[in-house]
Amino acid sequence: MVAHFRRSVSFSNTTPPPPPPSSFSTSKTVGKKVHFRSTSLPTRSHPILFQLKYHLNQLKSHWASQSILDQSLHFDRVSDALIRLRIILESLDDLLDLAPSRDSLRRHPEWVERVLEDFLVMVDVYGTFQMQISMLKQCIVTALLATKRKDVLKKVACLKGLKKSGGEINKLMPFLQAIRLHLNVDVTGSDQNTDLELVGVIKDVIEVIIVISETVFSGIHESFETRKVSWMMGLKKTKREKGIKELENGIWSLKNFNDEELNKKMMQNVEECIDGIECGSERVFRSLINTRVSLLNVLTQ
């Protein structure tokens, strides 16, 4: 069995309701983690499955409502989504630790193999994303020094570096979109509702990972892209982009030199934003690895 990363204690900003009454008995393993044991396959009344579905629905509804209320993408929304995504992955990991879940998935080894490949792609994508975020941080630090020293040439070089890293992050999108094509493939040779329910939940988790990741990646990319301008009825209008507001403001400050204090504050906001995204995505990255290990153990244990 492959060892998992150690988890740090975390708290969700949403508290799930108490699980419905269940006939399952529980037993603790050595350590702090509690595993729910049962002689039957997980059902909707199972606490872990219930919790996972709750977090999935919370993220979907929260993300949809925010999209309707506010067309802009802000850092606090990105940070919240990454936190919720990590919690969902940890809940899935707990579900996969159940013996009934493993038994159910072992009946569909080909489907599990395909999901393992998808998770490997997502792990690679987030690993590359972490590298690009580190490069962005270096550019931001350099830009802060250039702002303090009023070094125009260095600012221009930083803008090019930010745009280049944003472009590399955008290149990760096709890998995620390729995974989405696999989600329509159903398991074969099973008429058991419990098997289909578990498969459906895993598909929902993968879809949520793709949606949130696409939004974060494209938001960073669009923030560093040059704004396109169109002319309509004699009025100059800027094309609306789905960038992250704090990053867009920082790019604007690098191109304007009128207010030194304002520029410095905006660049500090950019640095905090990048730090937050790095921290949140790193935790998602580790959770992806842990979940893939649990899926691998389904086939190897």
pLDDT per position in the chain (301 positions), as tens?
A: 444 544 443 334 444 444 443 333 333 333 333 333 333 444 445 788 989 999 999 898 877 766 545 566 899 999 999 999 999 999 999 999 999 999 999 988 999 999 999 999 999 999 999 999 999 999 988 888 887 787 888 888 888 899 999 999 999 999 999 998 877 766 655 556 778 889 999 999 999 999 999 999 999 999 988 654 433 434 344 444 578 999 988 888 777 766 677 777 888 888 899 999 999 999 999 999 999 999 999 988 7
Residue 255 has which token pair? 């191109």
Beta strands 25-28 and 235-238 are: unpaired
260-300 and 109-149 helices cross at what angle (nearest 10)?
A: 160
Contact 165, 135 (CB under 8 A): yes
Q: Which residues contact residue 174 at a Cβ distance below 8 angstroms, ignoring those fewer than 6 apart? A: none
> For the chain, which residues make up each domain, given as ranges?
45-300
Residue 283 has which token pair? 């935790």
Q: What is the C-alpha to C-alpha distance for residues 251 and 254, in angstroms, rounded to an integer?
A: 5
Q: What is the C-alpha to C-alpha distance for residues 258 and 260, in angstroms, rounded to an integer?
A: 6
Block residue for tokens 């108490």: 18
Block residue for tokens 């962005």: 136
Contact 89, 287 (CB under 8 A): yes
Question: ∠ CA 96-77-243 to the nearest 5 degrees?
Answer: 115
